Amino acid sequence: MDPITSIVENAKINDDNARTVAAHVVGYFAAMHELEQVHVPLARRRHTQQEFDEAVARQVAVFRRYWDAHDDYWAPIDIGSEERYNPQHIRDLAVVTDGNGSFVVTLDYEAAEAVMANRRATYLVSGKSGTPKIVNEFY
């Protein structure tokens, strides 16, 4: 079983739409984590402006795939020097819906770095178009 399906299965989400939305958010974490494998070491060493610009462009491409990009407020503008998005660090996942196509997905996770330990990420997701898209993130 792939990691995304495993996380969603373990959350015991019964509603099919909520499962799809949860898988979308965990998929976002997985896609961003793939980039972190390159970007975190890059951020920790001396790098060129071109390397930086290319790294941010890769993150923006993932952002556009998973987010409703009508607003660039949450679009990446920097690369992190700490790992945040490893789906294996997700400890709990919950989804609530208003019954009209909007969902709130909350992930509790342990980040690899002490500075980010025991974090919670909460996302507002729209499922109205048939394809889930993240709309907002709450801290």
What integer pLDDT is reported at residue 132 of this predicted model? Answer: 95
Look-up of token digits 């494998």: 37
CATH architecture label of 3-138: Roll (3.10)
pTM of the model: 0.85
Look-up of token digits 């299965």: 9
Cβ burial of 60 (10 Å; 0-12, 13-18, 19+) is: middle
Between CA 34 and CA 51 the distance in angstroms is 16
Mean pLDDT of residues grouped by 10 in the chain (139 residues)?
64 80 94 86 83 89 90 82 83 90 91 65 88 90
Between CA 79 and CA 99 the distance in angstroms is 36
Between CA 31 and CA 126 the distance in angstroms is 19
What integer pLDDT is reported at residue 37 of this predicted model? Answer: 82
Instruction: Domain ranges for the chain, please list them.
Output: 3-138
What integer pLDDT is reported at residue 103 of this predicted model? Answer: 94
What integer pLDDT is reported at residue 1 of this predicted model? Answer: 57
